Amino acid sequence: MLTRSELPENPVVLALAGEDGRPLPVEVERVRGGLVRMRCGCGENAAQGWCRHQVELLCLRYDRVLGRDPELEFQLEDIVMGTPLADLADELDLAAAEHAQAWKALEACRGAAERHPGAVAERAADLADAARRLDVAVARFRKRLAAADAAQ
Average pLDDT value for residue range 21-49: 90
**What pLDDT was estimated at residue 115?**
75
Task: Report pLDDT for 118.
Answer: 84
Q: Half-sphere exposure of 4 toward its Cβ, with a 13 Å CA cutoff?
A: 11
The pLDDT tens digits for 58-106 are 999 999 999 999 999 999 998 999 999 999 999 999 999 999 999 999 9
Q: What is the mean pLDDT of residues 14-43?
A: 90
Tally of domains within the chain? 1
Q: Which residue range forms the structural domain that includes residue 112?
A: 4-150
C-alpha Rg value of the chain to the nearest Å: 18
**Confidence class of residue 19 from pLDDT cuts 50, 70 and 90?**
confident
Please give the mean pLDDT across all residues of the chain: 89
Q: What is the pLDDT of residue 1?
A: 55
DSSP state, residue 85: H
